[in-house]
Amino acid sequence: MNDNSLPLQYPPVEDLLVKAQNGDTAAREDLLEVSRHFILKTACRYSFKKLEWGRDDELSIALIAFNEAIDKYRQTIDEYKEKRKVPFVAFARQLIKYRLIDFFRHESRTNKAGLKDEIQSIEEDRLAIEKHKEEMAVRECQEEIAQYETLLAGYGLNLMELARVTPKRKSVRRNFIQVASLLAGEPMLCKSFIETKRLPLKELEQISGVPRKNLEKHRKYMVAISLIFCYPKEYTSLLSYLKD
């Protein structure tokens, strides 16, 4: 059997084709049945993969195309012999090919559109999550600042005064931030500071090398930032701000 032939059963395929074209429903069903192997082989050939009946849409498309070919192929076997026109199997094969190409093009456009929608949905979800995170971060920061303000009050300070006593020069601020970090790194000094609410200036001078008079001059600023370093878990946002 070659590519231009169909699996034949009696009555011959040619007779079934003529009867099907003349409206014989039973002949059409028989023709479709005996042509299943041809339809499968052709669909696999143009799909470039192995197909199975009942599983792959390509076979349904091919079967519909073959059925369409029956109606569109308007010539008898005698006319073919006389005029040497294209045989039915070749005509049916081409129609199956064209319908599968249309199917693949549609699937490609659908998949691209689906992928675009999916990407858009993922991006929208990402933006929503980011927005939620930002809102949560703002809320947490606000709560953190309110808690910090309460803590400052216990040391006779407030945010307005802190803004007033903060050194204008960045290098100076960095220097005292480093001193506050050293204080927090000494558990005993940090504990003493928290309990007495007084900076251990003598010890800080020793471990930092910053003259005591400078520490005294910026005592209020030192108290405020040292509290943040001594309570790192409670003031993560403020601590991150100081370290930036």
| pLDDT tens-digit readout, 18-43 | 888 888 889 899 899 999 999 999 88
Same domain? 224 vs 158: yes
In a domain, 137, yes or no: no
**Is residue 83's pLDDT more than 60?**
no
Q: Is residue 4 assigned to a domain?
A: no
Q: Please check whether residues 25 and 106 belong to one and the same domain.
A: yes
Is 29 domain-assigned? Answer: yes
Residue type, 9: Q
Is residue 174, in this structure, part of any structural domain at all?
yes
User: Chain-wide mean pLDDT for the chain?
Assistant: 82
161 located within any domain: yes
Q: Is residue 117 part of a domain?
A: no
Side chain identity, residue 42: T
> How far is C-alpha 208 from the chain's CA centre?
50
- Residue 118, domain member (yes or no): no
- Which pLDDT belongs to residue 113? 53
- The per-residue pLDDT for 132 is 60
Distance CA 230, CA 53 (A): 72
pLDDT at 15 over 50: yes
Who contacts 239 (Cβ-Cβ below 8 Å, separation ≥6)?
Answer: 228, 229, 232
**Is residue 55 included in any domain, yes or no?**
yes
| pLDDT greater at residue 183 or residue 18 | 183
Higher-pLDDT residue of 25 and 76 is 25
Rounded CA gap, 122 and 112, in Å? Answer: 15
Q: What is the pTM of this model?
A: 0.47
> Distance between CA atoms of 33 and 202, rounded to whole angstroms?
101
Pair (158, 88) in one structural domain = no
Residue 56: give its domain's CATH number.
Answer: 1.10.1740
pLDDT tier for residue 166 given thresholds of 50, 70 and 90: very high
- Domain of 94 in residue numbering reads as 13-110
Cα(219)–Cα(122) distance, rounded to whole angstroms?
51
Residue 233 has φ and ψ, to the nearest 5°, of: -75, -30
If one counts the domains in the chain, the total is 2
